[in-house]
Structure 1
Amino acid sequence: MKSQSPPPSLDARYSGISPRLVKIAQNAKDKLYSNKTVPESVPRRHGVRLPPDTTGEAFDEAIKALRKALGEDNVVLNDKPLVDGWYLEHPNTHDAFHLVDQEDLVSSATAYPASTADVQAVVKWANEHGIPIYPISMGRNVGYGGTAPRVPGSVVVDLGKRMNKIINIDAENASCVVEPGVSYFALYDEIQRRNLPFWIDCPDLGGGSVLGNAIDRGVGYTPMGDHFGAHCGMEVVLPTGELLRTGMGALPGKDGADNPTWQSFPAAYGPYSDGIFSQSNFGIVCQMGFHLMHETGHQSYMLTFPRDEDFPDIVEIIRPLAQKGILGNIPQLRHVVQELNVTGHPKSHWYSGPGPVPRDVIRKHASQMPCGDCAWVFYGTQYGDETAIKTQLDVIKSAFSAINGFKFFLPLDVPPDHYLNDRALVCSGVPVLRELEWLNWKPNSAHLFFSPITPTRGRDAQIVHDINVRLHAKYGIDLFPTLCIAGREMHYITNIIYDRSSDEEKRRVNALMTELIAETAREGYGEYRTHLLYADQVARTYNWNDNALMRFNETIKDALDPNGILAPGRNGIWPKKYRGKGWELLAGDDRIHKAIGGGTIAPSRATKAKL
């Protein structure tokens, strides 16, 4: 395995890796690159992708004006080779995990503001020149579209590079205020540097933006796993350039200082407006407050269950344990096939035949692993003092004993490199990199997520699981389900892994994703988050009362963004400038299928005329 160039360190770059993880990051990068069969980049077929309805001359004049506002070096044209990179060295020009042609969902340029005032200047510039902008925090929204703008030719506004300050950590209030470029790695390291008794709550990977993940309603695994629910206060630039502070921040502080209650109480007086800035294109969040968790005792553990058909019974047992608060965190329930792919070994290590890995092959390999020959693996963590944790675990083991053959493991029961030890870190607020390992499953690996919500009931979970099993088999794709389970709902997250160099494979993935969305929606289950190419299809499944929710969102969008410049199409919300003119990608539209082979998702003149 050839050693690649060292990954960036957090000491040198805001988006880098914590020094404690440099060796692990180097190994992860080396593994991933050893599984590549395509060059790092190929010559581009086209030059700069212009924004819609913009001439080259008008674009050049606009870029000249933007450089004057931000500085010459802080506006960069997207005219160089497109490099997919990897997690810690990802592009901000396109989706590193491109499903369609690499040159389709690309920006025209990238702008790097350094302050809220700079963001306001960019927004006013976009209104003046009629050019769409697409803000990103750090661009690590991998599996959901990365940094790609929904409208090709948009100017990406990269907030992370120059807006990456931890503005405040209030030890008395157990809260913090951060800018978009602050990663989980950075926030964790700063808390450790100050020797403060706090935990952060991080998702599976720690390189993403704390702010960005929260406004996309991402989840973690401690008792504060609802990241948007843990936020308190925002500073937002509206699509006209006006500045807004939400919650108690709307009340001026004494002598021009910030209100001292801003990070203490999330609402203000009147309507609670924060929610409209999550998963939307109604504003650019430039600062955000968060509550922190006090450190506490904890114990992670693993349960295994022997039969595939145990699935609904496991869910039924989890529900009352979660509702009563006995389960200490947001646990994961994973199919045993995930024990294979999280080792970092490629699929060929386990199986060299055609199609998905057969169940008997999975069983054979699992029997040689710490989990043993099982079907489902449950990862949980309990919190409190030693006595409380023992009592909780006794209750949990008693409840799961109803499933014949279940087994219980502590971290000391498995090897140091087993996944359980990484879960123990994540569930105690320590960001890690382990989830990168499953990207080695395929050469040139990429992935997207299918993420519906179901009630925490066995019959509902089984319906969604059965749809996944049937459709993954239909399209010959390995099924990797992870369920993040709370007392009343579950995130059923399917990780669809594909070779980004194979057009044939990507077409199967697209067909699978399209059918999964449609079939689960017919049963009454919708996604909580999706890849940008499927945002329109998912948004249209929430169509109760003649699409009342979408009509409401469009009303807000048109009021706040009359010129339609801010992230048009993000999460399926289109401004009137684009609406109904062929930009929407709905079920039955074959543009994604065609764009995989070098076409475009942008509407043609014929499409616009027909609509």
Structure 2
Amino acid sequence: MYGFSPASTEELRSVLQIANKFAIPLWTFSRGKNLGYGGPAPRVNGSVALDLHRMNKIIEVNDEFAYAVVEPGVSFADLYNYCVEHHLKVWPSTASLGWGSVMGNTLDRGMGFGAHFSHHQVMAGIEVMLADGDLVRTGQWGISNSQSAFLSKFTYGPSVEGLFLQSNLGVVTKLSIWLMPQPEAYMCCSFSMPAFEDIEVMVDTFGQMRRDGTLPNCVWMASVIENLCISGRREDFWKGEGPIPQWRVAELQKELNVGYWLARWGLYGSKRIVQAQFDQIQDVLRKVAPSGELKGALYTGENGGLLDAASVPPEHGQMFVGLPSLWSLPLINWPLPRGGNGKAAHGDYAPLIPSSGKMVLEWMRVSAPIYEAAGIELMCDFFMYERHIVAMNMFTYDQLDVEQGKRVHGLYHGLYQEAKKRGYGMYRAHVNHMGEKSAPIMKGLVRANYCVQISLQT
């Protein structure tokens, strides 16, 4: 595979001139670590890789108005470290793997875990190089000497930022993104329930609290299997053949004192406001889900000051306070025997489902036998927005095992067919599935443009 790795917009413009002159398709990525969705490998035969990791400047971080302006090669870890080194009073959001590109994740509609978890919804101006080398700045950033370039989403006429999300219509060279002001207090919250069917009341209850503002931040829910995958491998919990049976899952819940579903979220702000939010959430959950277990751990800054994110213990902080890490990476090793051969791989099918407990429970029930047929446990987590969820139907396997690969292929397409029946669109997909009938527009764009911009997470 051949590639270009420009370090500036001037070098990038030269690359595009060459690509246009010789009709070369370019496969664009920010850092190339977006492994669960295909990594940096081109999808279109004959492509030249356009690697933007050398464009890695942090243009600005403003802690008065809480925003950052970055280039494609800036990782979540880079941004966090910059803020710490310069004593800036902001908490950047981070994705689950801190090696990812802030820009790549945002353009692919990626997510974090805190108050600003929906990264693409807190953009406020981007700079884009079009295929002919022209530079476009969106929103108020398009005004010379604009005083509101990164403070306002308002624009003149149509807003065009959306054209460059999950698209190949240009190469985004700079991104502005809002950050969370460093808070006085943070509370790590969790709520668990014991039964598979409890997901219905959890989704309905948390969905309502997200919509009415009682719970203003991201709620992340995960199944018991998903949580076990982070802490060990299948053989640590099950010595038999195939996936862990349900009777053994029930035993593990008792042994480890864990629920079937675990919801986690953070509360941020002044101590009084955070405590009031928690008290209200507690009152709601006691009424509608009394069999659940609610926990909250409050952390405050010293002497009434702002809270240092690094002072929060990892089990209560980490991604919820914006600390980049690789905490979820062990998940991919789940199916591999310790001391054995194999090469771990992972992926997911990620439908968008209305925030309806009945519909989410039905999706889990439909998913379970498809997983079972593939010899994989139901590994699912999801992120709750105000009116919908993003379901992450995860799967891990040994990519050197041809039979496992075939079963995973069947799993993915089984989930795709069920989602298609129900009219569930996708959050994002592995590049190998860009040509599915669920994404005809993307398929056409990839074929039509020389300057191919696929916004990869890392």
1-structure distance, mates of 2:230, 2:49: 33
The answer (yes or no) to whether the contact 2:114–2:265 under 8 Å persists in 1 is: no
Q: Where in structure 1 are there 5+ consecutive unaligned residues?
A: 1-107, 254-258, 413-418, 572-611
2-structure distance, mates of 1:464, 1:119: 44
2-structure distance, mates of 1:394, 1:136: 44
1-structure distance, mates of 2:138, 2:276: 42
Per the alignment, residue 375 of structure 2 pairs with 476
Q: TM-score, normalised by structure 2?
A: 0.90
Structure showing greater relative contact order (alpha-carbon pairs closer than 8 Å, 6 or more residues apart): 2
Per the alignment, residue 332 of structure 1 pairs with 220
- SS of 1:381's partner is strand
Q: Is 1:239 the equivalent of 2:131?
A: yes
C-alpha displacement of 1:249 = 2.4
Per the alignment, residue 389 of structure 1 pairs with 274
Q: How many residues align?
A: 434
Return the letter of the residue paired with 1:269. Y
Return the letter of the residue paired with 1:348. E
C-alpha displacement of 1:515 = 1.7
Per the alignment, residue 179 of structure 1 pairs with 71
The answer (yes or no) to whether the contact 2:397–2:405 under 8 Å persists in 1 is: yes
**Based on CA coordinates, which of the two structures has the bigger radius of gyration?**
1
Q: Where in structure 2 are there 5+ consecutive unaligned residues?
A: 299-311, 337-342
Per the alignment, residue 345 of structure 2 pairs with 446
Structure 2 CA distance for partners of 1:229 and 1:391, relative to 1, 3 Å? same
1-structure distance, mates of 2:74, 2:138: 20
2-structure distance, mates of 1:521, 1:317: 27
**Could you list the per-position Cα deviations for residues 275-316 of structure 1 after superposition, in whole angstroms to 9, with x for gaps in the alignment?**
000000000001111112101121012211011111111111
Q: Is 1:526 the equivalent of 2:419?
A: no
2-structure distance, mates of 1:420, 1:497: 29
Per the alignment, residue 111 of structure 1 pairs with 4
Per the alignment, residue 34 of structure 1 pairs with none
Per the alignment, residue 363 of structure 1 pairs with 250
Q: Could you tell me which of 6, 16, 20 is aligned with 1:123?
A: 16
In the TM superposition, what are the counterparts of 1:567-578 in structure 2 within 5 Å? 567=452
Structure 2 CA distance for partners of 1:396 and 1:136, relative to 1, 3 Å? same
The answer (yes or no) to whether the contact 1:301–1:420 under 8 Å persists in 2 is: no
Structure 2 CA distance for partners of 1:441 and 1:113, relative to 1, 3 Å? same
2-structure distance, mates of 1:277, 1:310: 39
In the TM superposition, what are the counterparts of 1:39-438 in structure 2 within 5 Å? 108-160=1-53, 162-253=54-145, 259-296=146-183, 297-343=185-231, 345-369=232-256, 372-401=257-286, 402-410=288-296, 421-422=314-315, 424-438=317-331
The answer (yes or no) to whether the contact 1:456–1:488 under 8 Å persists in 2 is: yes
2-structure distance, mates of 1:500, 1:411: 40
C-alpha displacement of 1:453 = 0.6
The answer (yes or no) to whether the contact 1:379–1:420 under 8 Å persists in 2 is: no
C-alpha displacement of 1:273 = 0.6
The answer (yes or no) to whether the contact 1:467–1:520 under 8 Å persists in 2 is: no
C-alpha displacement of 1:420 = 9.1
Return the letter of the residue paired with 2:293. K
C-alpha displacement of 1:461 = 0.8
Return the letter of the residue paired with 1:355. G
The answer (yes or no) to whether the contact 1:342–1:437 under 8 Å persists in 2 is: yes
Per the alignment, residue 51 of structure 1 pairs with none
Per the alignment, residue 541 of structure 1 pairs with 438
The answer (yes or no) to whether the contact 1:298–1:383 under 8 Å persists in 2 is: yes
Return the letter of the residue paired with 1:212. G
C-alpha displacement of 1:482 = 0.5
- SS of 1:128's partner is helix
C-alpha displacement of 1:404 = 4.0
Per the alignment, residue 410 of structure 2 pairs with 511
- SS of 1:492's partner is strand
C-alpha displacement of 1:386 = 2.4
C-alpha displacement of 1:422 = 4.1
1-structure distance, mates of 2:169, 2:87: 38
**Could you list the per-position Cα deviations for residues 517-571 of structure 1 after superposition, in whole angstroms to 9, with x for gaps in the alignment?**
121111111111111111221xx336xxxx7xx39x95xx59xx97x31228x59
1-structure distance, mates of 2:402, 2:30: 30
2-structure distance, mates of 1:321, 1:400: 10
C-alpha displacement of 1:166 = 0.4
The answer (yes or no) to whether the contact 2:253–2:260 under 8 Å persists in 1 is: no
The answer (yes or no) to whether the contact 1:422–1:432 under 8 Å persists in 2 is: no
The answer (yes or no) to whether the contact 2:350–2:392 under 8 Å persists in 1 is: yes
The answer (yes or no) to whether the contact 2:197–2:361 under 8 Å persists in 1 is: no
Structure 2 CA distance for partners of 1:313 and 1:438, relative to 1, 3 Å? same
Return the letter of the residue paired with 1:298. Y
2-structure distance, mates of 1:212, 1:363: 39
% identical equivalent positions? 29
- SS of 1:168's partner is strand
**Could you list the per-position Cα deviations for residues 146-188 of structure 1 after superposition, in whole angstroms to 9, with x for gaps in the alignment?**
111111331111101x211101122333222111110110101
C-alpha displacement of 1:240 = 2.2
- SS of 2:350's partner is strand
In the TM superposition, what are the counterparts of 1:580-599 in structure 2 within 5 Å? none
- SS of 1:265's partner is coil
2-structure distance, mates of 1:422, 1:189: 20
- SS of 1:349's partner is helix
Return the letter of the residue paired with 1:175. Y
The answer (yes or no) to whether the contact 1:150–1:567 under 8 Å persists in 2 is: no
C-alpha displacement of 1:397 = 2.1
Return the structure number with greater strand share. 2
C-alpha displacement of 1:261 = 2.4
2-structure distance, mates of 1:117, 1:175: 26
The answer (yes or no) to whether the contact 1:315–1:458 under 8 Å persists in 2 is: yes
- SS of 1:289's partner is strand
